[in-house]
Copies of this chain bind each other. A is one copy, B any other.
Amino acid sequence: MDFIGHHVLSVDQFARADIERIFQVADEMQPYAERTRITRVLEGAILGNMFFEPSTRTRVSFGCAFNLLGGEVRETTEVKASSLAKGESLYDTARVLSGYSDIIVMRHPEAGSVAEFASASRVPVLNAGDGTNEHPSQALLDLYTIRKELEGQNRSIDGLRIALVGDLKHGRAVHSLCKMLGLFDHVEFNLVSPAELAAPADIVEALVAKGHAVNVWGDLQSGIHHVDIVYVTRTQEERFPSQEEADRYRGLFRLNQAIYTEHCEPNTVIMHPLPRDSRAQAQELDVDLNQNPNLAIFRQTDNGVLVRMALFALILNIADEIHNHARPVTWYTAKRTPRT
């Protein structure tokens, strides 16, 4: 696709070459995000960071990504603070807000709302999550993380073996990631979930049709045996038809260091879309994994900044201009460099 001036609404709009272009630009963002250099290429540009649903992490990540390119950020954080509550249409909101900034990032609780907003906007719009529908920059940062983690092991996304664990039925992040991985070659998917929360048939069928291997597992241990990546999402008890059914799975999808050591290959990378529920009863990632160097969950969020910088750079057509506006950082930055 041609990125310049275009909206980013769905992972479906990307071909493999587009993804590779985004990742190439994301790589170039590393020195700016890690503060060995700064760039002022977007000095004077304004991002409208419009969050009609709370999301601290995603909002701050987009905002910082724009600041790191030298631009300014104007924000909205609550639907009740907005005219939408007074019966204003998304069309009107888009026409008005797109007169204020150079580009808009938008989150909204309703599926399809961001695309509707974008169709009336006079500036490019990035979907930062529209309900159960899409959150394309999350899928891109997940895939970018997979690529970077495997690079260290001299592997690539082609031929990847991945376990997707947890609620595979409702998880927006998992669905988008599957679609994007499907664009690559010979990926082996290990789908690990309670039967009630299995991945939708259309997603599985599309992967099979493209020639990928799909294995379905009902327990964690079997699914994570021979994979490069374990991608865990929360298994929410309230998703089950009854508490009885939920009880059958209690504790079965929680990954901890002991299970990892016993069942995973030595360099298996652990991922999670975050936030992770760290309370004892949560079916996610145990805190005893925090010292595991293969826990990549915070590298994921760091990579999110790179990917979002890359999207801004490509859409606003300054990817090749960044280094012309660069200079060294003159303040203290040493603690940022070492990352586990």
Contact = CB atoms under 8 A, between A and B. Distances in A.
Interface of A: 4-5, 35, 38-46, 48, 54-57, 60-61, 63-64, 67-68, 70, 72-78, 80-83, 86-89, 91-92, 95-102, 122-124, 274-279, 282, 287, 290, 297-298, 301-302, 305, 315-318, 321, 329-336, 338-339
Contact of A82 (B54, B318, B336, B338): B54
Given A35-B102, A100-B61, A332-B316, A40 B48 contact: no
A335 B99 contact: no
Nearest to A285: B92
Contacts of A97: 57, 60
Ranked 9 nearest A-B pairs via Cβ: A38-B44, A83-B275, A87-B277, A54-B81, A89-B278, A88-B275, A316-B331, A317-B332, A99-B302
7 contacts: A41-B331, A60-B97, A64-B100, A83-B275, A91-B278, A96-B298, A318-B331
A103 to B, nearest CB: 9
Contacts of A317: 331-332
Nearest to A68: B46
A73 B70 contact: no
B331 A64 contact: no
Chain A at the B interface: SS class: loop
B57 A83 contact: yes
A92 B275 contact: yes
Nearest to A327: B44
B44 A70 contact: yes
A305 B336 contact: no
Nearest to A282: B87
Contacts of A77: 77, 81
A74 B83 contact: no
A274 B56 CA distance: 29
A315 B332 contact: yes
A42 B331 contact: yes
A227 B44 CA distance: 41
Nearest to A313: B331
Contacts of A89: 276, 278, 287
A38 B43 CA distance: 9
Contact of A87 (B87, B122, B279, B336): B279
Given A63-B74, A70-B44, A277-B88, A123 B54 contact: no
A196 B305 CA distance: 52
A102 B5 contact: no
A35 B46 CA distance: 10
